[in-house]
Structure 1
């Protein structure tokens, strides 16, 4: 009888020990599984970060190469050619059928049809399209990214009451000089600048 009780206690102890071991093994396996899952997640995150970094580097390199390429397309053209195109793009914006440029020497009458008008104080540049409706710009360059724009009309329509009065002619043209405005020239897209250089006459 005592032996049976002892045997029973031993069996209970073995069962408890075995159950405890099973629980510990399961906990260990679960922990290892979680560690493995976390390790995999970390690896995946590192791979994603690496790919994102490589893509960012590639995009940056492409952008730099594009910018360098765009800058290079204007090599070989004069500063004046580039300036004419940029000025036109800044002030008119629309591509003309052709782009003409001529120098107006200092001392030239603002109104080319009336010698009594005030004169240009310095050499100026006139840009104009293939026909009058495409626009006209008269300016002097400050060589610092800005220009002085003269509001010279493309058509001089003066009534006889002004045309017959030298003082009124002078006042009209003096008003143009008094209203010269400084404009910052946009560098613009080099490809657009090149398009205008190609149609310069």
Structure 2
């Protein structure tokens, strides 16, 4: 069994990656999280882009554990805010958490009409191997922002975001099932592009699950 580390403490991201590996039929690849390896200092995410930050986190994981490491850097790019919060999405309210981030964003968009509330979730996933090889994939999910949060299934800005794929139904990202979100989301799209690289880590890359 080959282990691959997801450099994240987010249990929902870990579950998502495990679902991607399972649905791709990759055999012999065990996805572990930061709670499954000895603790190491978190790297400073000082990159100017999602790509830079994802690689910073993945390379730190490899250096600390010797395991192939996948890291994601993601955020919300709001049209009316010129692409912000962007790489600052998780810290938009000064590190006070998801609810505070959502409240601040809603306050900043208070006078923005529906037609101008377009936004995109962006995810960049980087997979770095102990030998230094890396693979980077980017996924985007376009939609619009509501004026109040709705739903309890997601995290981050999910309760404010209605994707273009779901506008007719009017459901937010936080109202989708895990399977629906996997098939539509920015992270799901980025991870799907990394399936060939993940499969190459398995003991028998040609094997598939039943």
- TM-score for the superposition, normalised by structure 2: 0.21
Report the structure number with the largest CA radius of gyration.
1
Where is the helix percentage greater, Structure 1 or Structure 2? 1
Where is the strand percentage greater, Structure 1 or Structure 2? 2
- TM-score for the superposition, normalised by structure 1: 0.21
